Amino acid sequence: MSEQSERKRVILSGIQPTGTFTLGNYIGAVRNWAKLQDEFDCLYMVADLHALTVRQDPAALRRHSREAAAMILASGVDPKRSILFVQSHVPAHTQLNWIFCCNAQFGELSRMTQFKDKSAKHPDNVNGGLFTYPALMAADILIYNAELVPVGQDQTQHLELARNIAQRFNNNYSPTFVMPEGYVTKEGAKIMSLADPTRKMSKSDTNANAFILLTDDRDTITRKFKRAVTDSEGEVRYDPAAKPGVSNLMAIYHIFTGKTMEEIQHEFEGQGYGAFKEAVGTAVADGLAPIQNEYNRILADKEYVDTVLKEGAESASRIANKMIQKVYRKVGLLQL
């Protein structure tokens, strides 16, 4: 067998350290990261630079970055098998970002829906970083020649831009970058708000009952599920279009119990929503308990977390710096 066929494909994923992860972050992204380690060479990034497009409290951002790393470790990512690092610890990302800003078209960046959405949400801070951060996202991916990027529906546009930039650079300067592809997980990719099941679960929601935080205690978790919005039918049946609230709860229950939608429907036949919501809350609380215990244990060992991040940054930098040297040479920057 050739070395090429033995080599695992490279996958990169990142998450912003803007506070505690939600159940949506866990199910849609972080939960899958441990599983991907078996199949791929994984790089996992705490995307602190991306968080700066919205004004952050400096002390909180530093704290949240360490907490994010601890939660990723608690969720099963093994630093001996994957590279876990903080984005700002690898300066090559921002070096490649500038090259990409000069290779991305103004029109391309202005069409990004997230730029429009965040500009509307933060009209007092429509900054240049908010406009150009898809170029930084492209740098995050392409600097490691990541072949696969786990993407939600709201990130496909950014991946498409990364592909456009890679192709343009390859055409202008000779083949350099791998063309990344989206990697969509099979289940639970999008968890909706418990208060408004037509919207994605988000911790920026003004209604605290709309989301579950991974650090919520058992009573809080079960209480929030009891208050989850459903419908007036009283029938547990999977139909996302007609019954978005119930279907969202069924999807969550499926993730934590492994039961099929048919089995869930049969289990709660004729019981109404009270028993169903209680069962979902209990299943989630039970499922998160070992992760919460591990998170608290890891976070208490600051030296361990920082050592993992330091070693991760060194490993990531070894790969990224080689790419930067190659790119700088190709675009004509003088290197000594």
Catalytic one among 80, 116, 121, 200? 200
How many CB atoms are closer than 10 A to CB 311? 15
Catalytic one among 35, 116, 203, 277? 203
Q: How far is CA 182 from CA 24, 104, 134, 152, 282, in A?
A: 19, 20, 15, 9, 34
CA 332-165-52 angle, to 5 degrees, is 95
Contact 188, 28 (CB under 8 A): yes
How many CB atoms are closer than 10 A to CB 336? 2
- For the question of residue 330 being annotated catalytic, the response is no
Catalytic one among 8, 80, 118, 302? 118
- For the question of residue 226 being annotated catalytic, the response is no
Contact 138, 100 (CB under 8 A): yes
- For the question of residue 200 being annotated catalytic, the response is yes
- Dihedral sign, Cα of residue 287, residue 63, residue 18, residue 205: positive
Contact 86, 51 (CB under 8 A): no
Write out the catalytic residue numbers. Answer: 118, 200, 203
